[in-house]
Structure 1
Amino acid sequence: MAGDFSTAVLNEDDPALVRDAAPAYLLMMDALLVHHDQVSLWLAAANLNSAYAAAFVDDPARKLLMTEKALNYAVRAACGQDKNLCTVRQMPADDLTKRLRVMDQSQLPLLMTLGSVWAGWIQARSSDWNAVADLPKVQVLMERIIAVDSGYDEGEAHLYLGGIETLLPAALGGRQVEGEAHLRQAFALSHGHDLMAWVVLARQVARARYDRPMHDSLLKQVLAADPHAPGWTLKNYLAQQQARELLKSADDYF
């Protein structure tokens, strides 16, 4: 049931419907987890709480609560699948890298959920340098996914790595060239469905370069694209929403 609901959410082209309907399902998931200690349920609950917080929660305090809950659920799933990951939040990035070397294809769903939910947790605390210091852990999780299967989940790990690499301009230590390559790979591996890759490329690369033609071209491509694609529809509607906001603010930025 959790998988069916997640699929329905991802294929929904009415974000307002998801915003209004999902809270009841999130409460039901919490109730199920009281009596069903299953890795698959912890993963589903982590993903849904994180996605809902990122897409629909504007109140900072509420976003902090939901992303903390999502990360706790993801860690619970990780611990249930591999006892070595029970203390992953306290683990140095180098130690995590060593743990991940034994992870294979069967564990990629866990790594993707843990990494993406952790990224959402950090984003909700972007002004807290203690939280931002966890970014290297997200990075090694995504790097392990790519090492095992670069095309897993239609290249979603490349989107996260591209976002991490381009978070800072080159002058401050960002790796713009490498990040751009990851974002373009994410778009290619999704068969052109991952419109968020172009949004991140415009926001974090084109703006860092003060390249207005590149910026506007990417965002206009996002807005001109058909957002409907299995597993991508809701994400693409949200990407188009962000694209409109970036274009609206472009005159002030450039």
Structure 2
Amino acid sequence: MDNGFVVLNEESDLELAEKSIASNLKLLEAMKKSDPTNKDLLQLLCTGYTSYALGFVEDTDVERAKIFYLRAKEFGIELLKQNKHFDENATLANFENSLSTFKKSDIPALFWTAIAWGSYISLNLTQPEALADLPKVEAIMKFIIKTDENYYYGGAHFFLGALYGSRPKIFGGNPEESKKHFDKCLSINEGKFLMTYVYYAKTYAVQIQDPVLFQDLLGKIDEMSEDVLPEARLSNVIAKKKAEILRNKFNELF
């Protein structure tokens, strides 16, 4: 099953990938019913639903994306709770302390749970109970940076760049930190993980109201082939699609 997702990540046909991921996710859920604590299944379900929502749902159906992100988060929490020290409802201090009990091998579970959790929060910014969890997601990503900052093409830096770049300063935004994390992410993935440019433009460039930078970042996506990173070809194809959607919103953003 792991190999199946590796092959999907290398796919360039969006329609084929969307149908394949959806069918694989339902198969995984069926398998989980007979083996509910299987770590590999929980990881694949968390990663799969997060990726599906981000790549194929969020831009066209926000309410449906919320459902999938929440489902992904719940699978991830199930996996993390196999560590007896972890409790998603703990106080922030106790939550942060529990992260030290995880090992480098736990980084995929932590990362994809945090991506699902953070994405769900980003679509529920008017819900205080959702926003209250954001410091915990931030704590997970900071732990990942300390433990293995290179994981998933510098993904924790990517997340923090988007987090600090998407909010006004009065609500915890920090354009300087956003830029620092995006630049570090690009350094780690050598500018080949094209989704980095999408969110750099969508968050930081919009926050500082720099239309030239915005167009320049999206232009880099146009210039590069999705094959620049074969093992993430699908993500790069999705990045190109998202870049076009974002470019069409230029007049709304500036």
TM-score by length of 1: 0.91
Aligned to 2:184: 185
Q: Which moved more, 1:123-132 or 1:231-240?
A: 123-132
Deviation at 1:183, TM superposition (A): 0.8
1:1-254 map, 5 Å:
1=1, 3-36=2-35, 37-57=37-57, 58-80=60-82, 82-85=83-86, 87-88=87-88, 90-170=89-169, 172-228=171-227, 229-254=229-254
SS in structure 2 at match of 1:200: helix
Partner Cα distance (1:112, 1:84) in 2: 17
Where does structure 1 lack aligned partners over 5 or more consecutive residues?
A: none
The residue type paired with residue 65 of structure 1 is I
* Counterpart Cα distance in 2 of 1:72 and 1:252: 34
Residue 24 of structure 1 and its aligned partner are, at CA, apart by: 1.6
Number of equivalenced pairs: 250
1:124 Cα shift? Answer: 3.5
Q: Is the 8 A contact 1:158 1:182 kept in 2?
A: yes
CA distance in 2, matches of 1:231, 1:133: 35
Q: In 2, Cα distance between the equivalents of 1:94 and 1:146? A: 18
Letter of the 1:84 counterpart: H
Q: Is the 8 A contact 1:105 1:149 kept in 2?
A: yes
The one-character-per-residue Cα deviations of 1:63-100 (angstroms, maximum 9, x if unpaired) are 333222211111111122x0222x31x12322211111
Which TM-score applies when normalising by structure 2?
0.91
Letter in 2 for 1:75: I
CA distance in 2, matches of 1:121, 1:92: 20
- The answer on whether the counterparts of 1:47 and 1:70 sit within 8 Å (CA) in structure 2 is yes
CA contact (8 A) 2:70 2:116 kept: no
Which deviations, in whole Å up to 9, do the C-alpha atoms of 1:230-249 show, x marking residues without a partner?
Answer: 33211111211121122222
**How many angstroms apart in 2 are the aligned matches of 1:246 and 1:109?**
29
How big is the shift at 1:182?
0.5
Q: Could you list the per-position Cα deviations for residues 91-140 of structure 1 after superposition, in whole angstroms to 9, with x for gaps in the alignment?
A: 23222111112322122122112211212222332332321221111111
| 1-structure distance, mates of 2:9, 2:113 | 19
Check whether the contact 1:115–1:138 (CA below 8 A) recurs between aligned residues: yes
Does the aligned pair in 1 maintain the 2:125–2:131 contact within 8 Å? yes
Q: Is the 8 A contact 2:157 2:181 kept in 1?
A: yes
- Residue segments in structure 2 that go unaligned for 5+ positions in a row: none
Residues 204-231 of structure 1 show CA distances to partners (whole Å, capped at 9, x for unaligned) of: 1112222111111111011111112133
| Residue identity matched to 2:106 | Q
